A and B are shown apart, each in its own frame.
Chain A
Amino acid sequence: MSDTLDKMLKRINPVRTLEKSGENKGSAVISVKNLEKIYSGGVHAVKDVSFDVFPKQVVVIIGSSGSGKSTVLRCINRLIEPTEGEIFLEDVQINSPSTNINEIRSEIGMVFQSFELFMHLKVLDNVTLGLRKVRGYSKEKADDIAREVLAKVDMSDKVDVYPGQLSGGQKQRVAIARSLAMNPKVMLFDEPTSALDPELVGSVLESIKSLVAEGMTMVIVTHEIGFAKEVGDWIIYMDEGQVVESGTPDIIENPKTERMKKFLGQILEA
């Protein structure tokens, strides 16, 4: 375990250095600029949030409930419509009326807190649905890809069961495989382990880590501070809809602001 971790850190380090140095700005995979979200009820959930996600970088957003971190994530693939600001996938503006959002979404993987597997489809069909209906692949080709990604998340033996027969951890791994099958440019994780029993969290985190090791670009919203520190290249702490603090994982050890100190204190107590 620690061996792989070392290897991973070695792989990740160069990127981290790159980011620190502020180079390579032009090639951000995801670029969020001055994002604002006001819900129709008047709640100002996100206030002027900007950040970039570079290739093979893992950005972790942390923050207490209601801090707007999930809203930011959902704005990225427009499950929530941003009120103001611009979001880019590479050089395509996501929140522009002329963009084919379905095409964009198929390039962005999303993993939900509550898994959201298609309950009426078997595991294999969950993974192949997007390949067949969005990509238009044949059943054989889609099945091959699905088996490959299911093997990656160690779910090869469950291809023929319904999601209802899986444990929470297994469901989340299938959900990861479902996103992965589309070969996305970036993957978004919305609190992927929050709904899991503690003993099941490990297997899901392992799967995510193996993706990190492969160099997948990711944005992760999580409560798992330890995990954030371990895999994150860039940490964003949000509170009340604003980015309070962001930086390398070091900021978790040495928070600069009172708010983040307080938040980390609460987490550690719990």
Chain B
Amino acid sequence: MLSDKYSSGNKHGRSFTIAGCSLLLAFILLLFTPGLTSEEERDTGWDQAPISTDNDLNDVLALNSTSAFAIGENGKIYHTVNSGVNWSEQDSGVIQDLNAIEFNGQAIVAGDSGTVLINDVDSWIDNSIEGAGNLYDLSVPHFESLADSVIFVSGTGGEIWKWSNNTWDDLSNFTGTTNDIYAVDFVNEDEGFAVGADGLIIATIDGGLSWEIRDSPEEFRDFSFYDVIIFGYKGPNDDEASPVSVLIVGENGTVIQSSGTGPTAIGYIWKVPSENSHPTNTTSTLKSISGSSRFKFWIVGDDNFVALTEDGGSSFYNQSQLQNAGSDFTGVSFWDGDSGFAVGEEGTALYTDREGQDPRVLDTAISYDTFWKFAKYAFPFLKEGMYNTLKIIVLAIFMGFTIGVTLAVFKTSQLNLRIPLSLPKDDGTWKFVNFNPLKFFATIYTDIFRNTPLLVQFFFIYFGLVEIGVDLTFESILGPEKALERAYGSAVVALGLNSGAYQTEIIRSGIQAIPTGQMEAGRSVGLTYIQSMRYVVLPQAIRIVIPPLGNETINLVLNSSLASAIGFGEITRKGRFLISVTFETFWTWGLVLMFYFAITYTLANILKYVEKRLKIPGLGLGGED
């Protein structure tokens, strides 16, 4: 029997081991019950709406809250009217890759080899440009009919064409660049921006007859820009001075913005719309922007990237992990602030009617009438909490043990300073008092931490130390990218310091349990005090105190629940959150207990095993070897 290996050997102990292991096993089974945790069952905020094709999709256009066009390689155009549940393929009449789709009364598509298609009910009218290269984007500032419309398209090698007066004009010579132009956006027939390879930004205010190069920030000049969008600008005749925001996305997670008010010159100064240099927290290539206002928009890109901002790009809710498409996304299009589509490689398509947000982050109370329904909802939170708890205890145990060993050595040290109590007496003798600064320090430390409540220590470290400028995010050491959440840093430090005090006493007792002869024997061989400690006394002392150290470690795990009081999202904190949403106190706390049991019971068995492995005949208590 497996448990025999590390049970204490007597019958009583063994039956306990079996009972505990069965409980643990039951818990693990529960943890991996497919219905409870499988990704399909979770509401991710986005619905899968795949198109059955191997072709990569390049762009999408939402026509209203439930219908859309999606376009892709090999001239493919798909249409849905029911939120992406069914997609029907339409006859485009071409086999070139289609790259971009825009709408202004009619949907218009641009593609490779100068392909331009205009939608007409269920068919597409070919209006391709003779002699043009691959077209990457288009903008339609005016459309009454094909004869009365203005269309701009951009493409390879700095190409820009304009459709007006029923004919295509080649404006490529006016762009002043031979970089590929990946995106173009016009707010009216005259004013627009185009962006492309190697940080290219150009702007026109005369319908493309002349273009001006706008400098992108120096650090972005090596990156290609893939989409540009102008929010809020109505044109030079706009009466109200409405705020304008131009956004560009591209390689290396780039998001830059130029803003101004009303019909003033914009696009001269570009900056990241956030104090964080990477508000999207990604270095993946970003491909497409779509949104309902200059504040609320979505960005999609490579490596499964989908993110929403509601503050104009200052911060993003990353929705990537919420949906499980595992794809590079190429296009996104939102009808309004709630409904939209996103498309990507190999027919990947997503639809949302709820901002792409997991409703569990919304403050809605849901009724959970069965345990399973509750557990489905609760498990992801509790698993996250368990991960966070483990994150604290691993570091805190390590920190506590280091402190414990060091201070135990301090406490048992023989360093004695002789401090005179007063001036010499009449007979010339001094009266001395012995003072051991190491022992003094260690004693003060352990006395303070063992005689104050741990909860108050948490409060002092989390709320108090920040006041005098102690940086518990460790930003100065780890750098701004890897800096810890302050509650996390505080929890580790508080638990580590507290446990260190208890471990000091435990290890000190172990050191004192080793006969002084062992130290003498070490010294008589010629080892220094520190060497004798390190190679002779401590290895024996630690072995003796493994059982009480194990108890202390388990205490530390249980005490980690106090981190919930400073707002760190460990298991208990998640439990409190679950109750605030579900009001299911019995189930919630019951499950929380089980999660703690699983951690401590596993830990206890590991420690038992370690103790057995390190056991040496003739050393320490018990054992019949």
Interchain CB contact under 8 A, B527 and A120: no
Chain A interface category by residue count: 20 to 34
A116-B527 contact given A162-B616, A165-B618, CB 8 Å threshold: no
Q: A174-208 toward B: CB 8 Å interface, digit per residue (1/0)?
A: 01001100100000000000000000000000000
Interchain CB contact under 8 A, B617 and A102: no
The 8 Å CB contact of B525, one of A119, A129, A163, is: A129
Contact residues in B for A170 (Cβ distance below 8 Å): none
Contact residues in A for B4 (Cβ distance below 8 Å): none
A164-B526 contact given A112-B517, A112-B521, CB 8 Å threshold: no
Contact residues in B for A106 (Cβ distance below 8 Å): 525-526
The 8 Å CB contact of B526, one of A117, A119, A134, is: A134
B407 to chain A minimum Cβ distance, whole angstroms, is: 22
A187 to chain B minimum Cβ distance, whole angstroms, is: 11
Q: CB-nearest residue of chain B relative to A181? A: B525
Contact residues in A for B143 (Cβ distance below 8 Å): none
Most interface-central of B524, B527, B528 (chain A CB within 10 A): B524
Interchain CB contact under 8 A, B535 and A129: yes
B544 to chain A minimum Cβ distance, whole angstroms, is: 10
> Within 8 Å of chain A (Cβ to Cβ): is B469?
no
Determine the distance from Cα of A164 to Cα of B520 in the docked complex, in whole angstroms: 19
Determine the distance from Cα of A120 to Cα of B618 in the docked complex, in whole angstroms: 9
A118-B521 contact given A103-B526, A105-B526, CB 8 Å threshold: yes
A162-B618 contact given A102-B527, A120-B543, CB 8 Å threshold: yes
Interchain CB contact under 8 A, B517 and A182: no
> Within 8 Å of chain B (Cβ to Cβ): is A172?
no
Determine the distance from Cα of A164 to Cα of B525 in the docked complex, in whole angstroms: 20
> Within 8 Å of chain A (Cβ to Cβ): is B65?
no
Contact residues in B for A107 (Cβ distance below 8 Å): 526
B516 to chain A minimum Cβ distance, whole angstroms, is: 9
Interchain CB contact under 8 A, A105 and B535: no
The 8 Å CB contact of B515, one of A110, A116, A134, is: A116
> Within 8 Å of chain B (Cβ to Cβ): is A77?
yes
A133-B618 contact given A79-B523, A116-B518, A182-B526, CB 8 Å threshold: no
B548 to chain A minimum Cβ distance, whole angstroms, is: 18
Determine the distance from Cα of A118 to Cα of B535 in the docked complex, in whole angstroms: 9
Contact residues in A for B619 (Cβ distance below 8 Å): 119-120, 162, 164
Determine the distance from Cα of A105 to Cα of B523 in the docked complex, in whole angstroms: 7
Interchain CB contact under 8 A, A118 and B518: yes
> Within 8 Å of chain A (Cβ to Cβ): is B210?
no
Give the residues from 566 to 625 in chain B that come closer than 8 angstroms, CB to CB, to chain A: 616-619
The 8 Å CB contact of A133, one of B515, B517, B535, B540, is: B535
Contact residues in B for A67 (Cβ distance below 8 Å): none
Give the residues from 360 to 393 in chain B that come closer than 8 angstroms, CB to CB, to chain A: none
Interchain CB contact under 8 A, A108 and B524: yes
> Within 8 Å of chain B (Cβ to Cβ): is A130?
yes
Determine the distance from Cα of A77 to Cα of B526 in the docked complex, in whole angstroms: 10
Give the residues from 501 to 535 in chain B that come closer than 8 angstroms, CB to CB, to chain A: 515, 517-518, 520-528, 531, 535
A77-B617 contact given A116-B517, A116-B518, A133-B531, CB 8 Å threshold: no
A179 to chain B minimum Cβ distance, whole angstroms, is: 8
Interchain CB contact under 8 A, B515 and A114: yes
A51 to chain B minimum Cβ distance, whole angstroms, is: 20
Give the residues from 135 to 180 in chain A that come closer than 8 angstroms, CB to CB, to chain B: 162-165, 175, 178-179
Determine the distance from Cα of A116 to Cα of B515 in the docked complex, in whole angstroms: 9
Contact residues in A for B176 (Cβ distance below 8 Å): none
Interchain CB contact under 8 A, B536 and A79: no
The 8 Å CB contact of A130, one of B518, B527, B540, is: B527
Q: A61-88 toward B: CB 8 Å interface, digit per residue (1/0)?
A: 0000000000000000101000000000
A146 to chain B minimum Cβ distance, whole angstroms, is: 13
Q: CB-nearest residue of chain A relative to B518? A: A116
Contact residues in A for B526 (Cβ distance below 8 Å): 102-103, 105-107, 130, 134, 182
> Within 8 Å of chain A (Cβ to Cβ): is B539?
yes
Q: B454-482 toward A: CB 8 Å interface, digit per residue (1/0)?
A: 00000000000000000000000000000
Determine the distance from Cα of A129 to Cα of B532 in the docked complex, in whole angstroms: 10
Most interface-central of B515, B521, B616, B618 (chain A CB within 10 A): B521
Q: CB-nearest residue of chain A relative to B540? A: A120
Determine the distance from Cα of A103 to Cα of B527 in the docked complex, in whole angstroms: 9
B135 to chain A minimum Cβ distance, whole angstroms, is: 73
Contact residues in B for A116 (Cβ distance below 8 Å): 515, 517-518, 520-521
Determine the distance from Cα of A119 to Cα of B525 in the docked complex, in whole angstroms: 15
Contact residues in B for A178 (Cβ distance below 8 Å): 525
Determine the distance from Cα of A130 to Cα of B536 in the docked complex, in whole angstroms: 11
Contact residues in A for B540 (Cβ distance below 8 Å): 118-120
A171 to chain B minimum Cβ distance, whole angstroms, is: 10
A119-B616 contact given A79-B520, A112-B521, A133-B535, CB 8 Å threshold: yes
Interchain CB contact under 8 A, B539 and A182: no
Contact residues in A for B531 (Cβ distance below 8 Å): 133-134
A17 to chain B minimum Cβ distance, whole angstroms, is: 32
Q: CB-nearest residue of chain A relative to B541? A: A120
A172 to chain B minimum Cβ distance, whole angstroms, is: 12
Contact residues in A for B536 (Cβ distance below 8 Å): 118, 129
Determine the distance from Cα of A106 to Cα of B526 in the docked complex, in whole angstroms: 4
A180 to chain B minimum Cβ distance, whole angstroms, is: 11
Interchain CB contact under 8 A, B525 and A120: no
A108 to chain B minimum Cβ distance, whole angstroms, is: 7
Determine the distance from Cα of A182 to Cα of B521 in the docked complex, in whole angstroms: 13
Contact residues in A for B616 (Cβ distance below 8 Å): 119-120, 162, 164
Q: CB-nearest residue of chain A relative to B434? A: A40
Determine the distance from Cα of A102 to Cα of B528 in the docked complex, in whole angstroms: 6
Determine the distance from Cα of A112 to Cα of B526 in the docked complex, in whole angstroms: 15
Identify the 5 closest CB pairs spanning chains A and B, nearest first: A164-B618, A106-B526, A130-B525, A116-B521, A110-B524
* 6 pairs, A vs B, C-beta closer than 8 Å: A77-B524, A102-B526, A114-B515, A118-B535, A130-B526, A162-B617
Measuring CB to CB, which residues of chain B are less than 8 angstroms from any residue of chain A?
Answer: 515, 517-518, 520-528, 531, 535-536, 539-540, 543, 616-619
Beyond A79-B520, A106-B526, A116-B521, 8 additional pairs, beta carbon < 8 A = A102-B523, A102-B526, A118-B518, A119-B616, A133-B531, A162-B616, A179-B524, A179-B525
